[in-house]
């Protein structure tokens, strides 16, 4: 079929059909994911649902959404909270401390090392007074402490 023979209406219809197909696939995978997420349902019942979804897709999707659609949200939220809990416990196990403790330790170590290094420079270099004159943004000259503090 040459491109010149395709009308604007045919193009819109094709786009609409592709959109419906994508939506159908999305709903199908959502239902299949919900089936395997549900631990209360037996394996035989899951197999029956899959068979119906493959051979009678539209009717079985509607029946599933009507019959079991109310519990889909609860099962999805439960799975998300379990995954978050497992991830948090894994991170805590690997870190051995809380993230706030690590940040606090790193900050203290950095401040202590920088302060001692700058204090040592001030003590070793002769002729440097303790009062340095640097302008601030308001034009006032002041600085009466070591280099690391300001």
36-93 pLDDT, tens per residue?
Answer: 988 888 999 999 999 999 999 889 999 999 988 888 888 888 889 999 999 988 888 7
pLDDT at 142 over 50: no
Q: Please give the Cα distance from 108 to 114 (Å, whole number).
A: 10
Domain residue ranges of the chain, discontinuous segments joined by +: 3-149
Q: Please give the Cα distance from 91 to 96 (Å, whole number).
A: 8
Choose among 45, 99, 97, 91: nearest CA to 68: 45
pLDDT of residue 131: 47
- How many Cα atoms within 13 Å fall on the side-chain side of residue 6? 9
pLDDT of residue 110: 72
Confidence of residue 137 (pLDDT cuts 50, 70, 90): very low
- How many Cα atoms within 13 Å fall on the side-chain side of residue 117? 7
Average pLDDT (20-34) is 93
Choose among 59, 74, 73, 65: nearest CA to 31: 65
CB 38 within 8 A of CB 71: yes
pLDDT of residue 121: 61
Q: Please give the Cα distance from 116 to 110 (Å, whole number).
A: 10
Rg (CA), the chain: 34
Give the global pTM: 0.53
Helix boundaries (H) for 38-98: 43-55, 57-68, 72-95
Find how far residue 68's CA is from the centre of its chain: 29
pLDDT at 135 over 50: no
Q: Please give the Cα distance from 67 to 80 (Å, whole number).
A: 23
């Amino acid at each position: 079929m040459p491109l010149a023979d395709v009308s604007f209406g045919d193009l819109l219809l094709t786009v609409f059909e592709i959109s419906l197909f994508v939506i159908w696939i999305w709903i199908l995978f959502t239902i299949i994911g919900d089936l395997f997420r549900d631990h209360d349902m037996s394996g035989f019942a899951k197999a029956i649902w899959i068979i119906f979804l493959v051979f009678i897709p539209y009717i079985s999707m509607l029946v599933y959404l009507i019959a079991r659609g109310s519990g889909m949200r609860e099962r999805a939220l439960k799975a998300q909270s379990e995954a978050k809990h497992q991830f948090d416990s894994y991170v805590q196990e690997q870190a051995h401390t809380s993230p706030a403790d690590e940040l606090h330790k790193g900050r203290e170590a950095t401040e202590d090392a920088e302060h001692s290094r700058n204090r040592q420079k001030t003590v070793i270099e002769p002729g440097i007074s303790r009062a340095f004159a640097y302008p601030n943004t308001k034009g006032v000259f002041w600085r009466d402490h070591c280099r690391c503090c300001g």
